[in-house]
Amino acid sequence: MSTQKKIEKYLQIIRSILFKSKNMKKCYLVFSMLGILCISCNSPKQKEIAKAVVAKAEPNSVVDKVTRGQQLVASVGCNDCHSPKIMTERGPEVDPDRRLSGHPSQENLPSYDKETAKSYVLFSMGLTAAVGPWGTSFAANLTPDETGIGNWSEAQFLKAIKEGKFKGMENTRPLLPPMPWTEYRNFPDEDLKAIFAYLKTIKPIDNVVPAAILATPQPLEAK
């Protein structure tokens, strides 16, 4: 095996560990030190090879962020509320053709007892709509379509999660239950940016989510 192949093999192993770590800066520091060691122990030609391989492994690359974001989205339950479902023998499962597109615009909610909703939380069959003491909220479209987050900036996304602001904008209503933004705001900024980077790569789906309905009426849109 050539020296270049050996170096790439070792760095690939380290890179896989790097992707799984939340402390990206610390891992990259270790990673860089290992790269320096590789460089210092080789001939001039091998040094150039090692430098090139190390440069490829920088954790802030788009590919790395997207991979990290995909892992996080799959782990923290975004599909539970934001993806429409299809009914199977095992119960509702995520519809792969409408993944993360929010509550379907054409889906009307059945009638319900409003007195019961004052003391309980009721979910639609697909879990994309919820009724409770706050009123009725609908899961937002998280795809990069213009009806979703296609026009959002990274700063807006962070503001929405960190501060619970609708569409990540000032002077807007707070995000509504059951969106657990008070938990997600504890994520490191690097992880939230990775989630946003991943969401920007998924299939855009045209779906205008219905406006939310508060128990105390005021201007509202999707949660």
More confident residue, 60 or 145: 145
Mean pLDDT of the region 23-33: 51
User: Residue 75: its pLDDT value, please?
Assistant: 94
pTM surpassing 0.85? no
Between CA 222 and CA 128 the distance in angstroms is 11
Q: What is the pLDDT of residue 167?
A: 93
> CA geometry: angle at 150 spanning 205 and 211, to 5°?
70
By C-alpha distance, which of 127, 131, 136 is closest to 87? 127
For residue 193, pLDDT beyond 90: yes
Q: What is the pLDDT of residues 72-123, one digit of tens each?
A: 999 999 999 999 999 999 889 999 999 999 999 999 888 888 787 778 899 9
C-alpha to C-alpha distance for 186 and 76, rounded to whole angstroms: 13
Closest CA to 25 of 68, 58, 67, 73: 58
Q: How many angstroms separate the CA atoms of 102 and 140, rounded?
A: 5
Averaged pLDDT for residues 26-55: 52
- HSE-CB for 17 with a 13 A CA cutoff: 11
Extents of the domains making up the chain = 3-59, 74-214
Cβ pair 136, 124 in contact under 8 A: no
